[in-house]
Amino acid sequence: MTLDEWALGPPVLVTTCPVTFDVLCSDAEASTVADAANRGCVDRVVLACDPGVQSGYVLAVRLRGGVVVPIAAWVLGQRAIAGTRGRPMRPAEGPTAGDHARLVGLVVEWCRSLGDDDTETAVPQPVIVVEDWFAGVNPNTARDVARHFYYVEAAADRHGVRYVPVHNGTWKKAWLGRGNLRSDDAVVAYAAKAHELYPQVKQWSGAKVSDLKSADAAAALGIAAWYMETEST
């Protein structure tokens, strides 16, 4: 099986917001996952999310024996909306609840496509793992993060899959070595960590925040990795 057969990115995922999509595994890894699915050896599927007006997602699987394979990354971005009289700026609007639901639904269908629901080789339903952090200096930022956190929860509920909130300091301490980094320092640090593991993802390269097109999915990769390594099954 090749990655092209999985059809996880645009134009299959139709949203109202801009979508950035990156493949994180090779065709060989894709075939390994498909073979494991056929033998009933996919232990866990995780869709991790760093929520916000730009929401980063990473899809990863854990095979029997503990091997973790990140599959793909998405960023649901912001779109400009026209200003109105008395508000000449062009404000940005983040993804909608429907955008989050469509991505979760795509991953649910992907899991079904890998195995047969009527046999013991069925692939587990994905677990939606989301960073839980509403604190911040800017109350508008806290409000936006909270909104998208609950959008993802609603998407998981709509598709009948498990939803797990993860405190931000928990996974960051494991991923970066500490959990109390300043915001900009954390962005650069987890992007650097992700780029070290997946140098083909150019959006994660850069030594400062202004160099990074988006590091939201890099954070989601850290959340997925932490959950895969620490959950009890």
From 38, 34, 22, select the one nearest 61 (Cα to Cα): 34
Residue 74 pLDDT: 95
Residue entry with tokens 């956190």: 149
Measured in residues, the chain has a length of 233
Please report the beta strands in the chain, taking only residues with DSSP state E, as ranges in sequence order. Answer: 19-23, 42-50, 55-63, 68-76, 79-80, 92-93, 127-132, 163-167
pTM score, two decimals?
0.90
In this prediction, residues 56-75 reach a mean pLDDT of 94
The domain locations on the chain are 3-168+214-230
In this prediction, residues 175-198 reach a mean pLDDT of 82
Coil, helix or strand at residue 53: coil
**What's the one-letter identity of residue 93?**
E
Residue-wise pLDDT tens digits, 11-23: 889 898 999 999 9
pLDDT at position 28 over 80: yes
Residue-wise pLDDT tens digits, 70-102: 999 999 998 776 666 665 555 678 899 999 999
Cα pseudo-dihedral 35, 5, 119, 57, rounded to 10: 90
Of the given ranges (16-20, 49-53, 183-187, 188-192), which has the lowest mean pLDDT? 183-187
Residue-wise pLDDT tens digits, 107-148: 999 998 887 655 555 789 999 999 987 766 677 778 888 999
In this prediction, residues 31-56 reach a mean pLDDT of 92
DSSP 8-class letter at 142: H
CA distance 19 to 162: 24
Backbone angles phi, psi at 31, to 5 degrees: -65, -40
pLDDT at position 160 over 90: yes
What CATH architecture does domain 3-168+214-230 belong to? Answer: 2-Layer Sandwich (3.30)
Coil, helix or strand at residue 126: coil
Give the distance, in angstroms, between the CA of residue 177 and the centroid of all CA atoms in the same chain.
21
- Number of alpha carbons in the 13 Å side-chain half-sphere of residue 185: 8
